[in-house]
């Protein structure tokens, strides 16, 4: 990536009283990227999203969008960004087109130019034939498309999306991501997406992974997984703590226990399985070997599983 970043975040910190929701976070987003903010609930991504969308002023540090400071130049920033919040912002009693017309008026658009833009975004998102339908009659996926159309109406250079697939079934979720990729490919739209779904993070060009308000890793999904460089072995056992200690003693393997599973990394996972089974007969219920995932990256960086942390911190952001 080269050139001036669309988003530049430097040493960003935000406090709620004495609690740090963000702690010295720094990264950038380049033009044309779909950039993901990945983290469990309570990781800090919602706070960061609110700062970027000019709803919060950071306690310290700096966030710039197109070179504009979000804290001191919020009005200028708002003209350059589109925002799709997690909670619905469309009026169910209005049609799709009426929602867009009201949105255009908020940005000072009117007349033929507004109508031309409405036609464009409805067409781009495959909503031409649903323009006169009341939004409350649309499916969840179609309502999210109306949300996207609102965010894109004023030609923003950056689209911010907060958990855009929340509440959608897997098929609609996949469809929405197809439209996001279409927007990036056809229109060059830069997007920053928050998510707590590992499978969605895989679809991003690059990621910033947050935990307890700290940036624990950043890079493309493939580069982050390649950093591990080894196969991941999961062993189901009735005595996982005992097996972990025996692995350390016999094979100098550092393993972690998650529930009834023992997890460790090995350069030749499949080749190690026969030794493992021979060494601990009767102690192993099952073994799986796989390539590293983004959750493995999270475990390597934090020492705990992604969902365990998320479940314990629900609502903390």
pLDDT reported for residue 272: 94
- Answering whether pTM is above 0.75, one says yes
Q: In CATH, what number is assigned to the domain containing residue 83?
A: 3.40.50.300
Residue 312 phi/psi, 5° resolution? -85, -10
Strand 158-162 relative to strand 190-195: parallel, antiparallel, unpaired?
parallel
Is 303 part of any domain?
Answer: no
| Residue 62 within any structural domain of the chain | yes
Q: Is residue 258 part of a domain?
A: yes
Q: How many CB atoms are closer than 10 A to CB 62?
A: 15
- The domain in which residue 181 lies consists of 7-219
Q: How confident is the model at residue 1 (pLDDT cuts 50, 70, 90)?
A: very low
Give me the number of domains the chain comprises.
Answer: 2
| pLDDT tens per residue across span 118-128 | 999 999 888 99
- Counted residue by residue, the chain has a size of 317
Q: Are residues 113 and 133 in the same domain?
A: yes
Q: Do both 90 and 188 map to the same domain?
A: yes
Residues 124 and 270 in one domain: no
CB count in 10 Å sphere of residue 213:
25
What is the separation of C-alpha 48 from the centre of its chain, rounded to a whole number of angstroms?
12
Closest CA relative to residue 300, chosen from 209, 181, 188 = 209
For residue 225, is it within any domain? no
Distances (CA, A) of 71 to 1, 55, 56, 66: 26, 9, 8, 13
Does one domain contain both 164 and 236?
no
Verify that 40 and 150 share a domain, yes or no: yes
Residue 247 resides in a domain: yes
128-172, pLDDT tens digit by residue? 999 999 999 999 889 989 999 999 999 999 999 999 888 778 888
Whether residues 208 and 91 share a domain: the answer is yes
Asked whether the beta carbons of 219 and 256 are under 8 A apart, the reply is no
Is 225:292 a contact under the CB 8 Å cutoff? yes
């Amino acid at each position: 990536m080269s050139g001036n970043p669309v988003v530049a975040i430097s040493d960003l910190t935000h406090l709620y009283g004495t609690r740090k929701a963000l702690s010295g976070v720094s990264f950038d987003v380049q033009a044309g990227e779909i950039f993901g903010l990945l983290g469990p609930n309570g990781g800090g991504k919602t706070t960061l999203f609110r700062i970027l969308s000019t709803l919060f002023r950071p306690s310290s540090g700096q966030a710039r969008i197109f070179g504009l400071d979000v804290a001191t130049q919020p009005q200028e920033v708002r003209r350059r960004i589109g925002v799709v919040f997690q909670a619905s912002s469309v009026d169910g009693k209005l049609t799709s087109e009426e929602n867009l017309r009201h949105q255009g008026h908020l940005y000072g658009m009117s007349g033929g130019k507004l109508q031309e833009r409405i036609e464009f975004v409805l067409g781009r998102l495959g909503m031409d034939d649903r323009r006169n339908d009341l939004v409350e009659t649309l499916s969840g996926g179609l309502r999210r498309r109306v949300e996207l159309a609102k965010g894109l109406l004023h030609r923003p250079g950056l689209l911010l999306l907060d958990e855009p697939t929340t509440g959608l079934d897997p098929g609609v979720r996949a469809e929405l991501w197809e439209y996001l990729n279409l927007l990036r490919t056809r229109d060059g739209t830069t997007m920053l997406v928050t998510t707590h779904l590992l499978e969605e993070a895989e679809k991003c060009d690059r990621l910033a992974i947050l935990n307890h308000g700290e940036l624990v890793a950043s890079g493309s999904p493939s580069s982050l997984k390649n950093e591990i460089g080894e196969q991941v072995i999961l062993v189901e056992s009735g005595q996982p703590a005992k097996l972990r200690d025996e692995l350390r003693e016999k094979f100098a393997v550092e393993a972690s226990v998650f529930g009834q599973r023992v997890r460790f990394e090995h350069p030749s996972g499949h080749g190690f399985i026969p030794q493992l089974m021979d060494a601990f007969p009767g102690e192993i219920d099952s073994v799986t070997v796989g390539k590293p995932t983004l959750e493995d990256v999270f475990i390597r960086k934090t020492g705990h599983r992604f969902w365990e942390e998320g479940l314990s911190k629900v609502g903390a952001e």
